[in-house]
A and B are shown apart, each in its own frame.
Chain A
Amino acid sequence: MTEPVLSVENLSVRIAGLHILQGVSFEVASTGVTVLLGRNGVGKTTTLRAVVGLTPRNGEVRGTVRMGARSLLARPTHRLVRDGLGYVPEDRCVFAGLTVAENLRLAERRGTTPAYDKVFALFPELDRRGRQRAGSLSGGQQQMLAIGRVLLNDNRLLLIDEPTKGLAPKVVTEVAEVLERVAESVPVLLVEQNLAVVRRLAKDAVVLSAGQVAWTGNAQELLLETALTKSLLGVGAEVKA
């Protein structure tokens, strides 16, 4: 078995007195998509934000997070990102007042050549809409910009938080297609509620429940177990991709 790209051991996060994560441990394989599942409020986004160093200042993070041999928790976010930890947050977080081109330019790094060819091949619309303000894009276009921004640089691992949230079904399919292509070259830790997307993309799954890991294993096997899926996620897995 190959080395995992990310190891999370005994991760605990306490924010404003609430013990949101309580000793979470899991690994992310060095290829494909590992999906982080769970009902609303179980700590999926908190997990991603803790890994990338974005826990609020009034929060307390304990445990160990390693990308390869390097420990992540004590390092500032910008250093983690420069070391290859790409992060696409929930709700896209594009800079609404900047143009599409400026949003992309912001992600450029000194000393490296930004992969505009790759990004525009995946999202030709971003090239056409370069002068448009990001705030005036549709939800799907904003999501493409948020993902494209991260793909301008080489990444060792992508953390992507609910990329299909609030999108129309047709756009969900487009985003899933793109993520499928992205995952061919870089491992992804994905938070996703849409089980059709999970079925299409995920190789491994980690299910959180009340701030703890409730299940880990093969994602496709999990989705075949309707009763288990329903008990862990509160929904059926009958949705077809």
Chain B
Amino acid sequence: MSTVILLTLTGLGLAALYFLVASGLSLVFGLADVLNFAHGLFLGVGAYATWWAAGNLPGAGSGGFGFVVAVAFGVLAGALVAVLVELVLIRPLYSRTIEQVLVTVGLSLAGVALLQATWGADARPFPRPAWTREVTSILGANVPNAGLLLIIAAVLVLGGLLAFLRFTRYGLIIRAGVENREMVTALGIDVRKAFTLVFAIGGAAAALAGALGGVYFGTVSPGQGGSLLIFAFIVVVIGGMGSVVGSAYAAVAVGLLQQFVNYYGTSGLGDLCVVGLLAVVLLLRPQGLAGKVATA
């Protein structure tokens, strides 16, 4: 029983990581029709900025409030880079899908190369509070605190995103834009501002995933964003392009499936099953679990 609980909670921890990356990716694709392969770079920027801040930024550190400051710095850095990418590289290329893919793929490769050139290709130990290395006993299972931290963060981000989409003017614009961007423009709304905003939100969420992923894995490496991005794309497709709630459901399904199959089957079989799940969803429900809506 304790094994099932442990697998469930570590699976949910993994799901939380996927959700943090996928939620922004999904909103960006749903609203702006941009398949952003550079999204993993925002994760990398968040992870490295947090790592750097913990050691160098006054007031920041690897424990207590200092760690919160370091993570906040990482999140801010991820959001800023995302906004810059949108304004400088993506905005001139809206509706030019092939060019967007080329630019974002190129940017993700260049970003990884830049991180490698600056801090080396090897994984570096991630500064993290001591309590995140410990475990909490839940119904007989010793669950890593880092996984629980990810789950709490993802739930807060999900709640925050839903509140933003439901109760704010820009949330309304984004929900409408995911359905019909052209009609939003035809109501006199400059939808480009909403594009920039979803990039900022997506960049911040991915950067948070980078920072908390560093805590979870204990290390940070330049290629981390790319490998997580593959699963985030799968989550987005399964959940439905543009749906935050769909991404949450899909992330839970993918995380749990991966964790259970890897444990009870052979290591790596879980990844294969995730691809199988993707194929089944594409065949039976190509619009994803939630379809193309920004809420549920």
Contact = CB atoms under 8 A, between A and B. Distances in A.
Contacts, number: 60
Given A97-B179, A97-B293, A97-B295, A102 B186 contact: no
Given A57-B95, A78-B191, A98 B176 contact: yes
Interface residues of A, number: 24
A78 B185 contact: yes
A54 B186 contact: yes
Interface string B147-176: 000000000000000000000000011011
A166 to B, nearest CB: 18
Contacts of B176: 95, 98, 102-103, 106
Contacts of B175: 95, 97-98, 102
Interface residues of B, number: 21
Nearest 3 interchain pairs by C-beta = A81-B188, A57-B95, A82-B188
Interface in A119-177: 149-150, 153
Given A57-B95, A93-B180, A97-B295, A81 B172 contact: no
A102 B179 contact: no
Contacts of B173: 106
Contacts of B182: 54, 93
B155 to A, nearest CB: 24
A102 B173 CA distance: 10
B184 interface: yes
DSSP majority for the A interface?
loop
A96 interface: yes
B293 A89 contact: no
B188 A78 contact: yes
Contact of A89 (B186, B188, B190): B186
Interface string B275-296: 0000000000000000001110
A82 B190 CA distance: 10
A98 B95 CA distance: 25
Contacts of B183: 89, 93, 95
Contacts of B186: 52, 54, 77, 81, 87, 89, 93
Contact of A107 (B96, B188, B191, B295): B188
Contacts of A54: 182, 185-186
A105 B173 CA distance: 10
Q: Which of B172, B176, B186, B191 has the most CB of A within 10 A?
A: B186
Contact of A78 (B179, B180, B189, B295): B189
Contacts of A89: 183, 186
A215 to B, nearest CB: 29
Contacts of A98: 172, 175-176, 179
Nearest to B291: A97
A70 interface: no
A109 to B, nearest CB: 6
A87 B183 CA distance: 9
B126 to A, nearest CB: 40
B130 interface: no
